[in-house]
Structure 1
Amino acid sequence: MNGTIEQVRARVADQKTRQPELYGDIDFTVTPERFTQDPADSIAPRTVKGAEPTAEHFDLVRAYTLLGDRVADAYAGLMPQHGFRGLIAMLTKACDEGLEAVPDAPPELVAFIRNMEQVPDWVDMDLVREGARLDRNAAANLSPFAIRGAFVATFMNKYAALPMALTGTLGHETAARRVNETASFFTTTLLPDALERHGAGFKAAAMVRLMHSMVRFNALRRPGAWDSKVYGVPIPQVDQMPAGLIPIFLLSYKLLARGRTTFTPAERARVELSRYRCYLLGLPEDLLADTPVGVVQTMTARNQTLRRGFDDETCGALVRATLAAYLPPDRSWRNRLFDTVERGFAKVFFLRQFMGGDVGAAERMGVRITAGDRALFLLVAAIVTSRMAAYDLALKIPGLRGLVDRDLVAQLRRHLVRYGHAEFTTDAAQYRPTTGGQRETALPKGDGAARPGQGADGGVTPFGAKVGEARR
């Protein structure tokens, strides 16, 4: 950790000075309700032996719980003058053609782009490129089936899920767009040279970053839309960690369980890809560890301080909308068949990873698992595992590696066509105010077997609700 806690707190407090119209009413000396100092009341009460968070980890997480994105927030703050479409148009042009192509570019846009252009000393771009190459296999063969289930993981805690619910993402059509946008972003970043300055991944990261800041702007500016004493700031830095680091956290978790404390060269490349991708999204180095112990420490500190809470009105509605959404671009027979297969896989994936296998709890949320869903899950898992193994083998054969990589890139481009054009926008007209007294739903008890994807006690998902002691 290179930044001192005093420096981070200073950046948090400076938000009031830099953007009083957004942060002026937030008392940053008050700890929001979402932050708990009692691990027993958090989403992950236990730690992994040998990777226990330190006091400094907890202090940093507490500070970053109140930090938005200073450069992107400043640019989003120009919406009253330029409108959100105007901001998107200028950002798009700056990404595609450079700042010099934007007439009278606002200083806030210049600062935003310059911030993203600066590759930090702690990033190894050669490793980033290698990590992207290595990740193409899973993205081509597994991601189309797993993305919906992974997206649901972000909805399993009411404190972290509220911004998504607030933006009106409760309908099936809107939920489908968000899932496809998420898939599009991660897929785009794996294309050759995508994360270079004028690459498609760089541009996608800038658009996602602006969208997050637009959510903050609209949530904090609309009367009654956001309660900072309960929720802190919308989409704080610590809530962007799970989406960007889920695979790395699960990998680190498995390695530590096996007694390993270092990454192999291939694993290290994948880690570096995730770190740089998160950096482009605005995350600081403090939250982007590069060792298995450091990754687990940081994520555990976040999970041990996020108060558990699952309510049906926010979390349940988001889960149901996401699992029910039709993701393909049209209703041709091929796409309808894919939807049936992918949805069945996603439901069982959700049941296993985030509900501890408790069918009753899933049904109380409106997620009904059929025998057909289970059969589809096993079928897809067998096919995907075999395909990925075949590609892994081919990628190791001299003379085939380049050909196979080009084939994977072609598959990713076809997936992008199916995901559709990602707009990465948020409509303030759809925002709804926060409400109190939401009904909480009982979640399943842990089965006692710790495994990747759950907490050390086997009954805690790393990014979701505590699956054992939630109240009815």
Structure 2
Amino acid sequence: MATYYPDLARLVRDQRERQPDLYGHIDFGRQPYRLATQPGVASALPEWVAERDPILADPLVVELISTATMLGDTVADPLAAASAERSVTELVAMVRRACREGIEAVEDAPPELVRFIAAMEATPEWLDMELVREGARQARVTAALLAPFLTRGAFLATFTNTYAALPMALTGALSGRRAARRVNETANFFAVTTLPGALERHGPGFEAAAMVRLMHSMVRFNALTRSGRWDSETYGVPVPQVDQMPAGMINLYLLSTRVLRSGRTRFTDSERALVEFGRYRCFLLGLPEDLLPTTPEGIVHVIHARAALLRADFDEATCGQLISSTMSAYLRPGNSRVDRIADAVEKSYSKAGFIAAFCHGDRRAARAMGVSIGAADLARIAVTAPFIVGRFLVVLRASRIERLRPALDRYLTRLVRRRLATYGNPEFISDAKTYTPAHGA
């Protein structure tokens, strides 16, 4: 019985009533095996990150994570289910047009699309768009100068746990060229949302968020309706909201840990702008407000709690294959000598970032998961770091000088657009024909 988050629990229960064909066979009153709420159970929270027992002793956060583990997307899922009668291409075209021109521009718009767009337009009361614009301006520095060298490594983090990685493995979307496409689509989304005006109602970031939501819901729909390919008693709901939180909040988590380590408990005005930007982006992706804390301690606590309640498991056939295919994927648009050099440099930084952030610098642990860093990688980093890291630090410091901001912002915006051209045109689709059977952990 829900004690602290009754509204969130009601959303979870309503899924079965509103979409019996999709969720009717799932017992939402039963915890899936992936949810580890007992002490002494190995979880996805490393000991060097935080202690698990204090988290389990907090009934509020345990209920929050447990509930959100069974929550899909109550407005995007019905739209994805409409693919049983309409083609995915038609749905994508309607969503894009509704985002660009408004729902009234879509002829004979299905009610599922009307509700979906209305939910994204219903901005929360807490939203301050001026803060969002300022946060996007700050985020452009990282998107333009650092993100291209870190996205692959961050993307790999999703695949270190069988229960979180399985939906991607099920789709068959991370083998060969599809691996590169998914990484580039992820990079494209986070980059495009930092452009000036991108998160406004008719901006490209708003549209990208809608497309990501539809893609995730298509994964849920296809996973749950392909008989025998999804074990809900083990895995719960495919791509639950709690699994989307780390990707959407990773930048705020890193910011919050820096704030707490400095001895502060509150964000500065400048940091609050980044938080507002990140929270609104997560709202557009469908995350409930309960998963979007506003304080440094709250953000760190909820991210740690999600890991503490996720049962540990690394299946070589699932996680290992996903990591291998993603690490070997070629992300550049061409095959020139410059492209090949850039790809090699990016891979070296991604390996180093993954080992530092998710393996506590332990190369042996990283190697066991399929990520090895060698002398050539370290040499590439040593040669390029003075320029890549140095330029980032110089621009970051200069961006704090108000009279330099207009020129710097034009420069960064051009760089982000150049990155977007490199990432290619995102499709944000999930093709059920590529799906493969899922096996219980």
TM-score by length of 2: 0.95
Q: How does 1:177-326 map to 2 (within 5 A)?
A: 177-326=181-330
Determine which of 118, 121, 129 is the counterpart of 1:117: 121
Paired position in structure 2 for 1:6: 6
CA contact (8 A) 2:174 2:182 kept: no
Q: 1:77 and 1:49, CA in 2 relative to 1: closer, same or farther beyond 3 A? A: closer
Q: Which runs of 5 or more structure 2 residues have no equivalent in the other structure?
A: none
**Secondary structure, counterpart of 1:177 in structure 2:** helix
Paired position in structure 1 for 2:146: 142
Taking the aligned partners of 1:200 and 1:65, their CA distance within structure 2 comes to 29
Paired position in structure 1 for 2:71: 67
Determine which of 365, 371, 375 is the counterpart of 1:371: 375
Paired position in structure 1 for 2:353: 349
Does 118-127 or 361-370 show the bigger shift?
A: 361-370
Taking the aligned partners of 2:217 and 2:400, their CA distance within structure 1 comes to 42
Paired position in structure 2 for 1:43: 44
Taking the aligned partners of 2:401 and 2:256, their CA distance within structure 1 comes to 28
**Secondary structure, counterpart of 1:114 in structure 2:** helix
The structural deviation recorded for 1:62 is 0.5
Taking the aligned partners of 1:235 and 1:289, their CA distance within structure 2 comes to 21
Taking the aligned partners of 2:399 and 2:374, their CA distance within structure 1 comes to 37
Equivalent AA in structure 1 for residue 311 of structure 2: R
CA contact (8 A) 1:32 1:230 kept: yes
Taking the aligned partners of 1:327 and 1:219, their CA distance within structure 2 comes to 27
CA contact (8 A) 2:55 2:61 kept: no
Taking the aligned partners of 2:350 and 2:300, their CA distance within structure 1 comes to 26
Determine which of 423, 426, 431 is the counterpart of 2:435: 431
Report whether the alignment pairs 1:16 with 2:16: yes
CA contact (8 A) 1:51 1:296 kept: no
**Secondary structure, counterpart of 1:78 in structure 2:** helix
Equivalent AA in structure 2 for residue 229 of structure 1: E
1:202-248: CA deviation from partner (whole Å, max 9, x where unpaired): 00000000000000000000011110000000010100010011111
Q: 1:393 and 1:48, CA in 2 relative to 1: closer, same or farther beyond 3 A? A: farther
Equivalent AA in structure 2 for residue 197 of structure 1: R
Report whether the alignment pairs 1:97 with 2:101: yes
Taking the aligned partners of 1:49 and 1:412, their CA distance within structure 2 comes to 42
Q: Which runs of 5 or more structure 1 residues have no equivalent in the other structure?
A: 438-472
Taking the aligned partners of 2:315 and 2:429, their CA distance within structure 1 comes to 26
CA contact (8 A) 2:231 2:440 kept: no
Q: How does 1:160-171 map to 2 (within 5 A)?
A: 160-171=164-175
Taking the aligned partners of 2:195 and 2:172, their CA distance within structure 1 comes to 31
Q: 1:45 and 1:330, CA in 2 relative to 1: closer, same or farther beyond 3 A? A: closer
Taking the aligned partners of 1:39 and 1:405, their CA distance within structure 2 comes to 49
1:28-77: CA deviation from partner (whole Å, max 9, x where unpaired): 11100010112542112664999997311110111110010010001111
CA contact (8 A) 1:149 1:346 kept: yes
The structural deviation recorded for 1:285 is 0.7
Taking the aligned partners of 1:73 and 1:309, their CA distance within structure 2 comes to 28
Paired position in structure 2 for 1:447: none
Q: Report the count of equivalent residues.
A: 435
Does 255-264 or 422-431 show the bigger shift?
A: 255-264
CA contact (8 A) 2:56 2:62 kept: no
CA contact (8 A) 1:73 1:213 kept: yes
The structural deviation recorded for 1:4 is 4.6
Q: 1:90 and 1:393, CA in 2 relative to 1: closer, same or farther beyond 3 A? A: same
Report whether the alignment pairs 1:25 with 2:25: yes
Equivalent AA in structure 1 for residue 43 of structure 2: S
Equivalent AA in structure 1 for residue 342 of structure 2: F
Determine which of 417, 422, 432 is the counterpart of 2:426: 422
Equivalent AA in structure 2 for residue 107 of structure 1: P
CA contact (8 A) 2:4 2:63 kept: no
The structural deviation recorded for 1:352 is 2.4
Paired position in structure 1 for 2:160: 156
Q: 1:149 and 1:54, CA in 2 relative to 1: closer, same or farther beyond 3 A? A: same
Q: 1:436 and 1:399, CA in 2 relative to 1: closer, same or farther beyond 3 A? A: closer
The structural deviation recorded for 1:251 is 1.8
Does 120-129 or 354-363 show the bigger shift?
A: 354-363
Aligned-residue RMSD, C-alpha: 1.8
The structural deviation recorded for 1:304 is 1.2
Taking the aligned partners of 2:254 and 2:353, their CA distance within structure 1 comes to 15
Taking the aligned partners of 1:397 and 1:49, their CA distance within structure 2 comes to 45
Taking the aligned partners of 1:302 and 1:16, their CA distance within structure 2 comes to 24
CA contact (8 A) 2:52 2:308 kept: no
Taking the aligned partners of 2:388 and 2:196, their CA distance within structure 1 comes to 23
CA contact (8 A) 2:55 2:62 kept: no
CA contact (8 A) 1:345 1:380 kept: no
Does 151-160 or 46-55 show the bigger shift?
A: 46-55
Equivalent AA in structure 2 for residue 141 of structure 1: L
CA contact (8 A) 1:173 1:325 kept: yes
The structural deviation recorded for 1:185 is 0.2
Paired position in structure 2 for 1:451: none
Moved over 4 A (4+): 48-53
Equivalent AA in structure 1 for residue 375 of structure 2: A
Report whether the alignment pairs 1:131 with 2:135: yes
The structural deviation recorded for 1:398 is 4.2
